[in-house]
Amino acid sequence: MKFSADSHFLIGKQHESDNKPCQDYALAQINTDCAIAIVSDGCSSGGRTDLGARIVACAAITHAHKNIYADLGSFESAVYKTMWGVAELIELNIEDLLATLVIAVVSKEHTFVHFFGDGACHVKFRNGRAMLDRTSWAHNTPYYIANRGHVARERFLKFHGGEMAQSVNRFVEQKINEHDTLSAAHSDTCGNGMRGITLAYPTDEIESITVFSDGIEQVGDIPPLEVVEMLTGFKNTTGDFAKRRLRQQVATWKKDGKHPMDDISMATIHINHDSEDV
């Protein structure tokens, strides 16, 4: 089993027009025993969340390992401490650190995706099926790891109406074949969302897994499932394969008058099951 991984992010039309920086960030990394893909989306109404997204992503990849699923709380705590360590050094405050985190960890044994906030995960299975799982939050106010501290946490819970409030929306679409798609929507509690939503897949059934920021939902009138299918139609999986695909696809959309409104980030892991590196 051999992993290839890549990531990229591009500014959306809104931030370009507003002379704001891209507030999405993405990272992908192959370790000795797993591959990691991360996207982070900074809050548009926050502070310098372009920096926040980078800090969250870099803190996350520092502490990521193949077994974070076993104690997600410890992982989040480590990321939180690192984020604030960096923030204090350069005098950032909480408004600057409001950024989501979606992290995929693929090992030979298992594949997990963890959502801290909103975002999406696309999985292509070896049997030809594909699944897109999107997570969003009520009032467009997702959980951010920066809200883990006591005061911020209480304020966040109060805003959403408490731990049991149905604040998290999940929408899952599964492509069965070229013509047929199944979809399902359900909700989850604010408390569960704050603890991190986890998806699990058997690695030996997966061809690729890609995490996205919610920018995939604002590409003209193109449905998100179609957007991610275009973005994961890699011609090959060597080197900067995600950068090439995202760049070329966005250029095509722009020519068709469908400039993505929001920043888009993607990080992808491709699995070659015929190789024996892992």
Partner 1 sequence: MPRFDSDDMHQGQTGGRFGFSGVRTDKLGASNYTLADIVVDETGSTSTFADELKKMVKASVESLKKNSRSDNILVRVSTFSTRHPNGVREIHGYLPLADIDVTMYDDIDPAGMTPLFDAAFSAVAASNAYGKMLKDDGYDVNSIIIVITDGDDTSSSFGPSRVAAEVDQAISGEVLESCITILIGVNAARFRAKLETFRVEAKFDHYKDVADATPESLAKIGGFISQSVSSQSQSVGSGGPSQNIAATI
Report the interface residues with partner 1, using CB under 8 A. Answer: 234-236, 238-241, 243-245, 247-248
- Taking the C-alpha atoms of residue 81 and residue 58, their distance in angstroms, rounded to an integer, is 12
Nearer to partner 1, 13 or 244 (CB): 244
Nearer to partner 1, 69 or 234 (CB): 234
Which residue is associated with the tokens 């939050």? Answer: 137
From the CB of 235, what's the least distance to partner 1, in Å? Answer: 4
From the CB of 240, what's the least distance to partner 1, in Å? Answer: 4
Cα-to-chain-centroid distance, residue 14: 20
Q: Locate all alpha helices (DSSP H) within the chain, ordered by sequence.
A: 13-17, 49-63, 72-89, 150-160, 190-195, 224-231, 241-255
- Taking the C-alpha atoms of residue 55 and residue 23, their distance in angstroms, rounded to an integer, is 11
Beta bridge partners of 102: 39, 115
Nearer to partner 1, 16 or 188 (CB): 16
Which residue is associated with the tokens 């275009």? Answer: 230
From the CB of 25, what's the least distance to partner 1, in Å? Answer: 18
38 near 28, Cβ under 8 Å? yes
From the CB of 16, what's the least distance to partner 1, in Å? Answer: 16
Nearer to partner 1, 64 or 228 (CB): 228
From the CB of 269, what's the least distance to partner 1, in Å? Answer: 16
- C-beta neighbour count of 182 within 10 angstroms: 11
Nearer to partner 1, 62 or 238 (CB): 238
